[in-house]
């Protein structure tokens, strides 16, 4: 009977383990549905107080600790879309030298996350150090690395900037998910962050 | 009939042999009315059930969808005289709800996303049951309580960006049900029941204070000795 109990318990344990694999919740997520549009705004800012904006002619790159500029066709296209949307909302694009009220930057951010996970897998092919008569399963380690690249657009307040101090960011947007670098969807993904920012207009 | 005859003969023989060995006289009329093993010994029961999971409480606000991915495997020691049983059960519950794209407004922040809200729990609990009716009754209603622990996870995916929390949590269960044997002296039967499961689990970002569910279960049980 003792043996029977042990085998029953192992069946229970086995069942518990086989059930412990959660299904992939995002398996059926379309690229379009994976897109996330995040906008932040400074609540004290009154967007009607600004008339003009300037936009750099290149996209900034931020890759972990490194920075740079990029002038791919795609970069010009997104800059054009951002300028279009701001113009539609009543702001006038002028040159940086003409003292604009707002400064607009478009940044492509690549964030790499890496780490180590321990897998306590009792079905390992090798046996560990037996300790005190019990079994000890050493964990194996998996190394993972994932990189996410996304668009970041920010608007800084140059009108009220104090010299010697960093101008404050009054609006920023993140465009994240799959398919955000496709030519066919670029226009709509940029438009989305403006659509959800109804307060961002001159009139 | 032939089979019965055989049993009679064997019973008689056994009866004589025990009386000889133990120097014990068993009244012939009582000999064939001996209790079944289920009434004499602690016996075993295993049950596999599955069914509908219904979110409750603050968890219901987060998870506005029922689940059919909801299983329980239980193993019990069934006591012969006092209508009780003691056991362990493991469960697996998974809820998923995908919300269509909408803009979520926060303080100074707007987020447009398709949310995939999930909850999973793998409870391991020690259960105690009280049955109405004797151990060999064809129909045995029961009430059951259980306490234990669970690995639970609340994961809310904004697009593919995961937010939420997970960890080992306390579990308390209370339920009722009925077990019906297919045959009066059989081993196999039908089990129906409902269990309320309470897991204290605070996820502030989702407004969850407890991940409580009502699990309506149906399945089979098998008993042996």
| φ and ψ at residue A62, rounded to 5 degrees | -130, 110
Determine, yes or no, domain membership for A50: yes
Partner-chain contact A43 B108, CB within 8 Å: yes
Q: What number of CA atoms fall less than 13 Å from residue B42's CA on the CB side? A: 9
Domain shared by B125 and B146, yes or no: yes
Name the pLDDT band for A146 (thresholds 50, 70, 90).
Answer: confident
Among the partner-chain residues A9, A16, A29, the one whose CB lies closest to the CB of B122 is A16
Name the pLDDT band for B51 (thresholds 50, 70, 90).
Answer: very high
Partner-chain contact B114 A26, CB within 8 Å: no
Domain shared by B154 and B123, yes or no: yes
What is this model's ipTM?
0.77
Residues with Cβ within 8 Å of residue A84, at least 6 apart in sequence: none
- Whether pLDDT at A151 is above 70: yes
Residues with Cβ within 8 Å of residue B65, at least 6 apart in sequence: B55, B95, B96, B97
Q: What is the domain-level CATH number for residue B210?
A: 2.40.160.20
Q: What is the domain-level CATH number for residue A169?
A: 3.30.160.670
Domain shared by B50 and B105, yes or no: yes
Among the partner-chain residues A9, A26, A37, the one whose CB lies closest to the CB of B112 is A37
Determine, yes or no, domain membership for A72: yes
Domain shared by B1 and B76, yes or no: no
Domain shared by B66 and B138, yes or no: yes
Kindly report, residue by residue over B115-171, the tens digit of the pLDDT.
Answer: 999 999 999 999 999 999 899 899 999 999 999 999 999 999 999 888 888 889 999
Residues with Cβ within 8 Å of residue A25, at least 6 apart in sequence: B96, B116, B118, B155, B157
Domain shared by B12 and B123, yes or no: no
Kindly report, residue by residue over A55-100, the tens digit of the pLDDT.
Answer: 988 999 988 778 889 889 999 999 999 999 999 999 999 999 999 9
B96–A contact, CB cutoff 8 A: yes
Answer yes or no: are the C-beta atoms of A192 and A37 closer than 8 Å. Answer: yes
pTM of the predicted model over 0.80:
no
Domain shared by B106 and B201, yes or no: yes
Tell me which residue of A201, A150, A154, A197 sits closest to A177, measured CA to CA: A150
Domain shared by B126 and B81, yes or no: yes
The alpha carbon of residue B210 is apart from the nearest alpha carbon of chain A, in Å, by 20
In chain A, what percentage of residues exceed pLDDT 70?
75
Domain shared by B18 and B123, yes or no: no
Domain shared by B148 and B173, yes or no: yes
Question: Mean pLDDT, to the nearest integer, of B31-51?
Answer: 88
What is the number of structural domains in chain B? 2
On average, the pLDDT of chain B sits at 89
Domain shared by B23 and B132, yes or no: no
What is the number of structural domains in chain A? 1
Partner-chain contact B112 A36, CB within 8 Å: yes
Determine, yes or no, domain membership for A70: yes
Q: How many residues can be counted in chain A?
A: 203
Q: Domain of A173?
A: 34-113+147-195
Q: Domain of B68?
A: 35-224
Domain shared by B120 and B14, yes or no: no
- SS3 (DSSP) at B24: coil
Residues with Cβ within 8 Å of residue B45, at least 6 apart in sequence: B74, B75, B76, B78, B85, B87, B221, B222, B223, B224
Determine, yes or no, domain membership for A43: yes
Instruction: State both tokens at B217.
Output: 């279960």
Q: How many CB pairs under 8 A join A and B?
A: 83
Kindly report, residue by residue over B88-113, the tens digit of the pLDDT.
Answer: 999 999 999 999 999 999 999 999 99
**CA-nearest residue of chain A to B110?**
A39
């Amino acid at each position: 009977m003792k043996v029977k109990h042990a085998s029953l318990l192992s069946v229970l344990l086995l069942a518990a383990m086989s059930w412990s694999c959660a299904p992939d919740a995002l398996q059926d997520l379309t690229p379009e549905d994976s897109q996330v549009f995040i906008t932040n705004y400074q609540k004290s800012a009154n967007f009607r107080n600004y008339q003009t904006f300037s936009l750099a002619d290149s996209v900034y790159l931020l890759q972990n600790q490194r920075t740079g500029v990029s002038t791919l066709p795609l970069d010009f296209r997104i800059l054009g879309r951002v300028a279009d949307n701001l113009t539609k909302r009543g702001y006038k694009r002028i040159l940086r030298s003409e003292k604009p009220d707002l400064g607009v930057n478009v940044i492509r951010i690549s964030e790499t996350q890496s780490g180590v996970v321990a897998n306590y897998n009792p079905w390992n092919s090798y046996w560990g150090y037996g300790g005190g008569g019990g079994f000890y399963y050493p964990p194996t380690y998996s190394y993972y690395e994932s990189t996410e690249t996304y668009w970041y657009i920010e608007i800084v307040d140059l009108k009220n900037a104090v010299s010697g101090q960093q101008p404050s960011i009054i609006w920023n947007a993140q465009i994240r998910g799959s398919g955000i670098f496709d030519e066919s969807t670029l226009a709509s993904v940029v438009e989305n962050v403006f659509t959800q920012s109804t307060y961002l207009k001159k009139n | 009939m032939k089979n019965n005859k055989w049993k009679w003969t064997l019973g008689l023989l056994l009866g004589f042999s025990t009386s000889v060995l133990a120097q014990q006289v068993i009244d012939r009329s009582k000999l064939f009315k001996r209790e079944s093993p289920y009434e004499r010994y602690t016996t075993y029961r295993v049950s596999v059930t599955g069914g509908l999971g219904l979110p409750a409480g603050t968890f219901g606000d987060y998870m506005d969808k029922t689940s059919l991915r909801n299983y329980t495997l239980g193993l019990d020691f069934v006591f012969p005289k006092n209508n009780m049983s003691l056991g362990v059960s493991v469960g697996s519950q998974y809820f998923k709800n995908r919300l269509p794209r909408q803009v979520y407004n926060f303080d100074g922040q707007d987020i447009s996303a398709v949310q995939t809200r999930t909850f999973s729990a793998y409870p391991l609990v020690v259960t105690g049951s009280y049955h109405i009716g004797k151990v060999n009754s064809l129909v045995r209603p029961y009430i059951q309580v259980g306490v234990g622990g669970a690995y639970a996870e609340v994961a809310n995916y904004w697009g593919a960006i995961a937010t939420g929390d997970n960890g080992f949590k306390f579990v308390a269960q209370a339920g009722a049900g009925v077990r019906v044997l297919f045959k009066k002296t059989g081993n196999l039967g039908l089990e129906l029941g409902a269990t309320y499961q309470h897991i204290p689990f605070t996820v502030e970002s989702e407004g969850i204070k407890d991940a409580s569910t009502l699990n309506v279960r149906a399945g089979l049980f098998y008993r042996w000795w």
